[in-house]
Structure 1
Amino acid sequence: MAAYDYVVAADDRPEHREGFHMPSTEWREVFLPDESTRHADQARVFTELQRKRLKKQGHGRALHRNGVAALKAVLAVEGDLPEYARQGIFATPSAFEAHVRLSNGNFSLDRAPDIRGFAIKVLGASTPSSTGVEQNFTLVSQETLKVSGSADVVGIVDLSTSAPGAALRKVATKPQLTRSAVVNFRDMAKPFSGFATHDFFSIMPITFGDYAARLKLCAASTAVNKEARKDLAADIFGRLADDDLEFLFQAQFFEDERRTPIEDSSVRWDTPWLTVARLRLPRQAPDEALAETIEKSSFNPWIAATEHRPLGELMRARQAAYALSWHNRGVAP
């Protein structure tokens, strides 16, 4: 498959903007004492959620169980990227086939508050160190997550899925968790216009070779469908019945711990975005065979090229949770 002839104009490149600083390779992760034990204990919370859902709905994911759409895609890497961005699968202009899974964070119903997921599985990519790489990117409809670490995330999920009586008892005994939950629920309750017209973010960074970067998928359209909220799947497939959709895939690079903290998911990074690729969804209709394949797949950010591994304590906690979730789903790898 041929690469596309997209090039970022020189005047639009971050390094040509006033106040630009070259990305730094001096980023550092912070590892907590007994971290692996903590993460294993937290993963068991999600296992319990899976077990409860198994009785009602059969095998499925621990989180983002409710799939909205399964789609074919192409990730086309930009030409003429600056050296610091020519890393991993973005090293040379190329076009890779991909699968996309759109999802709701809630377990079944599409309702607010919620955090939507846009997961991308790049198939058969090449990097300077290997070929045939499967690269997963998982993005959500929020740019930040206002938590102090993975323990907060687990507590919020546990709180939101508890029965009313149990939830009230947890609120009474964990005021800090309650405050964190309220702040994040407010963010999740903000209007969501649909998967084609909303931006998506990685929240936490990944490595970009020796550099580090957060990721963003820019909305493919500004034409908001006021009826999209009633049926998100109908909205995306209605658009794809008429034309392709194209999203800008951008990276935001680490410069220093103050402006671009590696471990703090609550901080919006203060550095420019660079378009490193474009994600094209070609015209298509719902495909049951594709949907079955994608539902059986694991969209795990730790399935990645060595140049693009996830960073931060939150992402290491996800590694433990995803591994256990996959084991409990009852599908063949």
Structure 2
Amino acid sequence: MPSTQWREVFLPDESTEHAEQAHVFTEVQRQHLKKHGRGRALHRKQVAALRAHFAVEEGLPAYARQGIFADPSVHEAHVRLSNGNFSADRAPDIRGFAIKVLGASTPSTADVEQNFTLVSQETLKVTGSAEFVGIVDLSTSAPGAALRKAAKKPHMTRSAVANFRDMIKPFSGFATHDFFSITPVMFGDYAARLKLRAASTTINKEARKDLAADIYARLADDGLEFLFQAQFFEDEVRTPIENSSVRWDAPWLTVARLRVPRQAPDEALAEAIEQSSFNPWISAPEHRPLGELMRARQAAYSLSWRNRGAAP
């Protein structure tokens, strides 16, 4: 059974450190601004913008009936599919699958906007936010500067290489790949990592050349249904809260279904979604992100949002 005995670890003066780290992402944004105009620091390349419905499952066990999952319900949702970098679709990358659930409610809060941000990797091989930011800094630096930084911090290079090995694993497309939260969120009194299970096992070998064309070709013929699953904390050995490099050893439970109906590209929707903020900290109190890495992301998201002048 899931446990409520999870704990977060707060580092001394971490808020100051997180604020300083956020400026690395500001520099990444500044570099992109010169080449591509105003936009996000990371996951800037929007592949597709989709309308969807988020349907909470019936008959969930008591421990899963928390927050927006307390009662069976169906909510409108917006979906943003993205590449982490500006490179071609066939290049190694971390893909993003962000979901904005609209008009949900919880036992304590009405009309909640709940954001879930998932990526194509299940784990992130870093020891904390400082190492993650170091990898971002290393990967976005000019070659000469990157070599100097790598020489000073060899452990950072090893971590970057380990994560790159995950990035180069084949990506078959947004409809046929699983996506993960990597870090946990609150699930009421419980804690859980999240997963979006692929909607199809039929792989299009040409998808990697044009990921948008693949998803819209599928949606021209029929809708897609993804399983939204939660993996609950049991103990710190098998399901550690703070260690993003560990694949949790616990069962997945389907708590909702993301239904994406037939649709064609919509320029107005794409612009609205591009201007919107997909931030895991936009959430019901029952689903607050957990862990030091996510608290660091909160500072980075806030600064990135202000720098690009996004819609509220």
Q: Secondary structure at the match of 2:105?
A: strand
Match status 1:37 vs 2:16: yes
Q: State the match for 2:106 in structure 1.
A: 127
Amino acid corresponding to residue 194 of structure 2 in structure 1: L
Match status 1:225 vs 2:204: yes
Question: Aligned partners of 2:79 and 2:87: how far apart in 1?
Answer: 19
Q: State the match for 1:115 in structure 2.
A: 94
1:289 to 251, 265, 268: 268
**Structure 1 position 163, deviation (Å):** 1.2
Match status 1:185 vs 2:140: no
Q: Secondary structure at the match of 1:289?
A: helix
Q: How does 1:1-333 map to 2 (within 5 A)?
A: 22-333=1-312
Q: Secondary structure at the match of 2:110?
A: strand
Q: Secondary structure at the match of 1:235?
A: helix
Q: State the match for 1:9 in structure 2.
A: none
Amino acid corresponding to residue 194 of structure 1 in structure 2: G
Q: Secondary structure at the match of 1:222?
A: coil
**Structure 1 position 107, deviation (Å):** 3.5
Contact 2:90 2:209 in 1 (8 A): no
Unaligned regions of 5+ residues in structure 1, if any?
Answer: 1-21
Question: Aligned partners of 1:31 and 1:113: how far apart in 2?
Answer: 34
Q: How many residues align?
A: 312
Question: Aligned partners of 2:135 and 2:84: how far apart in 1?
Answer: 13
Amino acid corresponding to residue 3 of structure 2 in structure 1: S
Amino acid corresponding to residue 277 of structure 1 in structure 2: A
**Structure 1 position 166, deviation (Å):** 1.1
Amino acid corresponding to residue 267 of structure 2 in structure 1: E
Contact 2:277 2:310 in 1 (8 A): no
TM superposition score normalised by structure 1? 0.93
Aligned Cα root-mean-square deviation (Å): 0.8
**Structure 1 position 101, deviation (Å):** 0.1
Question: Aligned partners of 1:304 and 1:313: how far apart in 2?
Answer: 17
Q: Secondary structure at the match of 2:54?
A: strand
Amino acid corresponding to residue 49 of structure 1 in structure 2: V
Unaligned regions of 5+ residues in structure 2, if any?
Answer: none
Runs of 4+ in 1 over 6 A off after TM superposition: none
Question: Aligned partners of 1:236 and 1:28: how far apart in 2?
Answer: 39
Amino acid corresponding to residue 268 of structure 2 in structure 1: A
Amino acid corresponding to residue 192 of structure 1 in structure 2: F
Cα offsets for 1:46-91 (capped at 9, x unmatched)? 0011111112211100100000000000000000000000000000
Question: Aligned partners of 1:164 and 1:174: how far apart in 2?
Answer: 15
